[in-house]
Structure 1
Amino acid sequence: MAFRLDPATAIKDPHGISWGMHPIAWRNDDIKEVGAFNTLEDELLDLADLGYAGTEVAGWYPSKEETKERAEARGIQIVAQWFSSFIVRDGIEAVIPEFTETCEYLQYLGATRVVVSEQTGSVQGQRDVCIFTNKPVLTEEEWPVLAEGLNRLGEIAQAHGLQLVYHHHLGTVVQTKAETIRLMELTDPDKVSLLFDTGHAFVGDGDVMGLLEATIDRVRHVHFKDVRPEKMEESKRLERSFLDSFLNGMFTVPGDGMIDFTEPYTFLVDHGYNEWILVEAEQDPAIANPHAYGLKARAYIESTLLTL
């Protein structure tokens, strides 16, 4: 077990991309009992041993001082944190104070981006709502409200040395390819960028490359998440929620599902992308050991992607 990330054994991408792993593999924010036995130290030790250089902040992390101290001790970069915005529901002025606090927190940790998802009407956290047939939809009047609000947040993020990256997400007002493209068209490219997530693109539209090709000029952060097709079809048939779908194994790490990651990886590289890609898979760590799946993902990354 490596107790600190060793640059000599870390993942080395020939195109300058930095590889990390999302904390949701260790513990879940939406279902508190899932992975509750894992600590920040467990995650950081696994990351250091596996050779992943960065991660994002989770809601279950300790104080900012302890988080910074422990991450630096293990040589792990804190890259970003999720922020739930309610611009349409509450108005931008109500959102700004908490968003500013989040940016100050991330600036303290040395992060470089803040992940934003509009949660007005979201059903992603409701266990009695089928994620495949129910999602909120913005009215024509609400689209510019969201876009203008995000531009305001983007300015605040930049003032704290951060890039706002918007996360298209199942069960939200910006889920589909068409919705994501529309949001990018309505927002200022100097203030709002995109977090591209393969898993949400595939489950949401059955199309990974269509969204990436349409938005490549806005992509500043990436999540590589795989999908188990039989589990996705099972969840559709049983009309499961987002939470129950992933608890029943719909998502997994790259190389363990049906997505061909050579296509998005090559496309990103060909367009000069050289920032972060985080391995992400919402799974129950009691069933899918994070270290084992992190190792599986690294083997796939190095044998299949980095040899292209």
Structure 2
Amino acid sequence: MTELGDRLSPDKVKLGVCCTLWWNDDFPAIDADISFGQAVSEMALAGFQGCSIGHKYPSDAAELKAALELRGLRVSEPWTSTYFTVGRMRQKTIEAFEQTLRHVKALGGTELVVAEFGASSHLLPVDVFANRPVFTDAQWDDLTSGLEELGKIANSAGMKLSYHHHMGTGVMTRADVDRLLASTDPELVHLLLDTAHIAFAGDDPLDLARAHADRIGHVHLKSIRPEVVRRVRGEGLSFQEGVELGVFTVPGDGAIDFRPILEVLADADYQGWLVVEAEQDPNKAVPLEYAKKARAHLADLLGW
């Protein structure tokens, strides 16, 4: 175990992996016909302790929990999209969140991840930068008050809510993240640090981690390929086109140096999930190969 691994030890952090290495939940056509069973078996084989929930997973909590436990896995997070910034969606958003909470609680999970997708450009075949929403002050108020309401619901259930800044959305850049965190109660709304989404947006993930280390409640570790980022910007490509071109990759590949980011987390006594992610086309990037590459890179940094 390294000095860094002593401070981010197995009793403090858990290593997970997102199923987006095996298929894409935003764009189901990006698929290599890999089954749920194969995917979770490969997650365990690569050496991970947990995983996110994807669209190929069994919907029955007991069935899913049994399948994960068989492989020594736990649920690292579910995903719930919020729609607080568009009309007549507040109550529907809260109800969807509560349904997700009940499901993940039945699975023994404690983490909840959300992102505001009101008017998002990331699912559309349009320039992801030029067409992402810019919220009005009223929309920001609707978003932050809504997130705090979800945070209260999560806390009352013994769960933790973390907000995921995301390409193509109204909370995409460092300035957006700063505003969201300044406008929400730190006891209710934590930050999901996604190293690649903030880098894709044009900001520095290390600077973001340093600035908000005390708010980080969940971490997605993924890297970027800068030449693809430049192409997406220069050619006005969509988020899907960027994914298909390989804009994202795993730690141990791409341009992001993860050691200083993990040092910041260690200095802040971070405790929680470190989740490897890379939305890649599994027909081009063999999922098990990239999962093992990422796990080996983390083992080199942490010593475990």
- Asked if Structure 1 and Structure 2 have the same fold, meaning a TM-score greater than 0.5 normalized by the shorter chain, the answer is yes
Taking a change above 3 Å as real, the CA distance of residues 307 and 60 of structure 1, as seen in their structure-2 partners, is: closer
Taking a change above 3 Å as real, the CA distance of residues 206 and 180 of structure 1, as seen in their structure-2 partners, is: closer
Asked whether the equivalents of residues 104 and 160 of structure 1 are also in contact (C-alpha less than 8 Å), the reply is no
Asked whether the equivalents of residues 32 and 283 of structure 2 are also in contact (C-alpha less than 8 Å), the reply is no
Instruction: Tell me, yes or no, if structure 1 residue 140 matches structure 2 residue 140.
Output: no
- 2:157 is matched with 160
Taking a change above 3 Å as real, the CA distance of residues 41 and 300 of structure 1, as seen in their structure-2 partners, is: same
CA distance in 2, matches of 1:290, 1:141: 42
Name which of 238, 249, 267 aligns with 1:241.
238
Which residue identity is paired with 1:156? I
CA distance in 1, matches of 2:193, 2:261: 10
Name which of 66, 70, 78 aligns with 2:75.
78
| TM-score (ref. length: structure 1) | 0.92
CA root-mean-square deviation? 1.6
Deviations 1:52-76 (A, max 9, x none): 0011111221222321110111110
Judge which range, 230-239 or 65-74, deviates more.
230-239
- 2:226 is matched with 229
- 1:259 is matched with 256
CA distance in 2, matches of 1:298, 1:98: 33
- 2:104 is matched with 106
Name which of 41, 54, 58 aligns with 1:58.
54
Matches within 5 A, 1:12-51: 13-14=5-6, 15-16=8-9, 17-35=13-31, 37-51=33-47
Which residue identity is paired with 1:164? L
CA distance in 2, matches of 1:177, 1:144: 18
Instruction: Name the SS for the 1:38 alignment partner.
Output: coil
Asked whether the equivalents of residues 77 and 111 of structure 1 are also in contact (C-alpha less than 8 Å), the reply is yes
Asked whether the equivalents of residues 107 and 161 of structure 1 are also in contact (C-alpha less than 8 Å), the reply is no
CA distance in 2, matches of 1:102, 1:13: 33
Asked whether the equivalents of residues 79 and 110 of structure 1 are also in contact (C-alpha less than 8 Å), the reply is no
Asked whether the equivalents of residues 192 and 217 of structure 2 are also in contact (C-alpha less than 8 Å), the reply is yes
Instruction: Tell me, yes or no, if structure 1 residue 185 matches structure 2 residue 182.
Output: yes
User: Percent sequence identity over matched residues?
Assistant: 37
Which residue identity is paired with 1:99? F
Which residue identity is paired with 2:263? T
CA distance in 1, matches of 2:296, 2:127: 34
- 1:276 is matched with 273
Deviations 1:62-111 (A, max 9, x none): 22232111011111011111101111213432322111111001101111
Unaligned runs of 5+ in 2: none
CA distance in 2, matches of 1:297, 1:91: 38
CA distance in 1, matches of 2:226, 2:292: 22
Taking a change above 3 Å as real, the CA distance of residues 307 and 68 of structure 1, as seen in their structure-2 partners, is: closer
Asked whether the equivalents of residues 5 and 303 of structure 2 are also in contact (C-alpha less than 8 Å), the reply is no
* Structure having greater relative contact order (Cα 8 Å, sep ≥ 6): 2
Unaligned runs of 5+ in 1: 1-11
Which residue identity is paired with 1:257? G
Asked whether the equivalents of residues 173 and 203 of structure 2 are also in contact (C-alpha less than 8 Å), the reply is no
CA distance in 2, matches of 1:95, 1:301: 36
